[in-house]
Amino acid sequence: MIGIIGAMEEEVAALKEAMDIHETVEQASMVFCKGVLCGKEVVIVRSGIGKVNAGICAQILVDRFKAEMLINTGIAGSLDAKIDIGDMVISTDALHHDMDATEFGYPVGQVPRMEVMSFPADEELVKKAVQASEKANPDIHTFTGRVASGDQFIASREVKDKIVENFHPLCVEMEGAGIAHAAHLNKVSYVIIRAISDKADNSASVDYPTFERQAIAHSVRLVKELLTLI
C-alpha cells in the first residue's frame, strides 16, 4: 500500500478525483481515501498544515493501512536562486529547521537523543520521482536535494538566509520532515515532492496566491507518473 499525503485539500483533490475510491475512513479528523490510482493501491489523505499533523497522518497510514511507502506532495518556497517558481524539488533528505537544543550541546536541527539529524529518502524512489517529473513536466526543471521543514511560513529574507546558512536545503515547507521522521522510525520508504510556489523571501505575499495553482498542477502530474513507475 502506498500512502499519499498532501497538507491542503487543493494538493490532493485532483488525485482523489482521478482515483477509484473503494473506502473512506475518518480518523484524527482526517479523511483517508483508499482505492486505486494509476493501477496502484493507494490511500490519499489531506493531513492538514504543519509537522505534527503530517506526522500523525503518516503514523495512521502505517498502523491502520499498512503503508510501506509514503509520498508527500505539495508546494514549497525555494531557497536556491537557480530554482524558479514552478520548478520541482525531490527530497534526498529532510530535517527540522526549527529544532533547537543547542543549549544542551546539540547542533541546530538535531532532535535530542536521535542518532540522525536528517532523514534520508529512499534512493530508488528519488530516482523514479526525478524520471517521472522529467516526463510529466518537461517544460520545468527538476532538482534533488535537502528539504527543510518548520512550523512557520517563511516570508523574511533574514530567516531564509539563516536556514540556508545552517542546513543548505533547496526548499523550505511545513510538513515534510514530520513525514520523513515518521518514516524513519517505522522503517518505511518515503519521498517528498515539492513544486515551488514562491521564493521564501519578501516577495511571498505577492507570488504565493498567483503561483500556487500552477505548482500544485505540476505536483499532481508528477505523482500520477511516479505511480506508473513503482
Residue 14 has pLDDT above 70, yes or no: yes
* pLDDT the model gives residue 212: 74
Q: Nearest to residue 51, comparing CAs of 204, 162, 182?
A: 182
Residue 203 has pLDDT above 60, yes or no: no
Please, what is the average pLDDT of the chain? 93
pLDDT digits (tens, 9 = 90+) for 28-47: 999 999 999 999 999 999 99
Q: List, by residue number, the catalytic residues.
A: 11, 198
Cβ proximity of 28 and 61 under 8 Å: no
Q: How many domains does the chain have?
A: 1
The pLDDT-based confidence of 86 (bands split at 50, 70, 90) is confident
What mean pLDDT do residues 140-163 have? 93
Helices 51-65 and 176-186: angle between axes, nearest 10 degrees: 40
Beta carbons within 10 angstroms of residue 66's beta carbon:
11
The pLDDT-based confidence of 198 (bands split at 50, 70, 90) is confident
C-alpha cell at 52: 505534527
* pLDDT the model gives residue 169: 97
C-alpha cell at 19: 482515483
CATH number of the domain to which 97 belongs: 3.40.50.1580
Beta carbons within 10 angstroms of residue 35's beta carbon:
16
Report the distance separating Cα 103 and Cα 80, nearest Å: 29
Residue ranges making up the domain that contains 96:
2-228
- Stated pTM of the model: 0.92
Q: Nearest to residue 77, comparing CAs of 17, 14, 11, 156?
A: 156
* pLDDT the model gives residue 219: 86
E strand intervals along the chain: 2-6, 20-27, 30-37, 40-46, 69-78, 88-96, 119-120, 142-149, 171-173, 189-198
* 3-state secondary structure string across 10-31: HHHHHHHHHCEEEEEEEECCEE
Is the alpha carbon torsion for 129, 132, 137, 143 positive or negative? positive
DSSP state of 44: E
Report the distance separating Cα 169 and Cα 176, nearest Å: 12
